[in-house]
Amino acid sequence: MHDTGKTLSPPPAPDPCWAWFLDIDGTLIELTGEPSSLRKPHRLPELLEALRRRVGGAVALVSGRSVSNMRALIAPAELPLAGCHGLERRLADGRMLRAPSSPLLAEARATLRAFADDHPGVFLEDKECTLALHYRQVPHLEWACRDAVERTVSGDLGMLSGKMVYEVKPRNFSKGTALRSFMESTPFQGRRPVFLGDDLTDEDGFEAAAALGGIGILVGPVRPTRAEFRLADVPSLHAWLAALGL
C-alpha cells in the first residue's frame, strides 16, 4: 500500500495490447448529486465503442452499478460488464452470470428502507443483489448511515465504504474477483491487465491486476492505495486515453 505522502507516477502510455478494466463513476464520468443517474455523459458510448475496437474487444467496465444500469448508461455501445461490485457479469458473448443473492439481504433492505424513510435526504439505492445507502445530500448524517449499515451486516454480508455512500454486499465477490474471472477467457486471457478506478472499492481491482502482472491506475487525489500510477482526475484520464487515437 502506498502511503499518503508518496507521489504516484503518471502511467505509461496506454497500450492497445493490455486487458482493460475501467470503473465508471469518478473515473470515466464525473460524480454528480444523483446516485446512478441515467443522465448520459456526452459521447461516452462513442468513446467506449472506439476503445473496444482499438483494443480488440479486451475492455470491460467494472462498477458498483448494476449491469442493467450500466447497459442503459452506455447504450448503444455493448461491452463486457461487471456490476454490483462483481456479483453480476455480462460476458463478451452477451451471457449473464449472477451470483446467488444472500438470504440476509431482504432483512437488510427492510431495515435500511425504514432508516432512509426516517432520514430525509438519505437515499437507499436497491440494486437487487446489493444495497447502497447514499448521504451525499445530507453529509452530516454520514456516521448515522455508517452505523445503520454496520448493524445490518452479518453472516456472508459485508460493508463497503464509497464516495458519500455505504454499501451492503455479499463478501465473496469484489471488483478483484470480476477482473480475475474475465482474465480466464478470451479476449482478455494472455494479456496484461490494467485496472483504472477512483474509489476505495477499486482497491481489490488494483490488487488483482498487480497479482496477475498488471498495473493499477488511481484516478483522483493521492491517498493510500495499491495502485502504482495515478491520473489527477476524470479529464486527465480522457486526455491520457486520447493517445490511443480514439
Ligand X SMILES: O=P(O)(O)OC[C@H]1O[C@H](O[C@H]2O[C@H](CO)[C@@H](O)[C@H](O)[C@H]2O)[C@H](O)[C@@H](O)[C@@H]1O
Residues at the contact surface with Mg ion, assessed by CB under 5 A: 23, 25-26, 198-199
Report in angstroms how near the CB of residue 196 gets to Mg ion at its nearest: 9
Cell readout for 101 is 443473492
The nearest distance, CB 185 to ligand X, in angstroms, is 22
* Per-residue b or e along 174-210, where b marks 16 or more CB atoms closer than 10 Å to that residue's CB: bbbbbbbbbbeeebbeebebbbbbbbebbbbbbbbbb
Min separation Cβ 198 and Mg ion, Å: 4
Cβ proximity of 63 and 167 under 8 Å: no
23 labelled catalytic = yes
Which is catalytic among the residues 23, 198, 202, 204?
23
State the cell numbers at 184.
Answer: 480466464
Q: Which residue's CB atom is positioned nearest to Mg ion? A: 26
Q: Count the site residues for ligand X by CB under 6 A.
A: 24
Closest CA relative to residue 122, chosen from 164, 69, 65, 159: 164
CA–CA dist 54, 40 (Å, integer): 22
Rounded least distance, CB 217 to Mg ion, Å: 13
In this chain, which of 12, 32, 106, 235 binds ligand X, going by CB under 6 A? 32
What x-and-dash track marks residues 183-202 binding ligand X by CB under 6 A?
----------------x-x-
**Cβ atoms within 10 Å of 10's Cβ, excluding its own:** 13
Task: Give the one entry of ligand X, Mg ion, none that residue 214 binds, where binding means its C-beta sits below a cut-off of 5 to 8 angstroms depending on kind.
Answer: none
Q: Pick one of Mg ion, ligand X, none as the site partner of residue 94 (Cβ within 5 to 8 A by kind).
A: none
Measured from the CB atom, is 164 or 210 closer to ligand X?
164
Q: Which stretch binds ligand X (CB under 6 A): 97-105, 157-165, 205-213, 232-240?
A: 157-165
Told to check if 125 binds ligand X by CB under 6 A, we report yes
Query: Could you tell which of Mg ion, ligand X, none binds residue 192, using a CB distance below 5 to 8 A set by kind?
Result: none
Q: What residues line the site for ligand X (CB under 6 A)?
A: 23-26, 31-37, 63-65, 125, 132, 134, 136, 162-165, 199, 201
Catalytic annotation, residues? 23
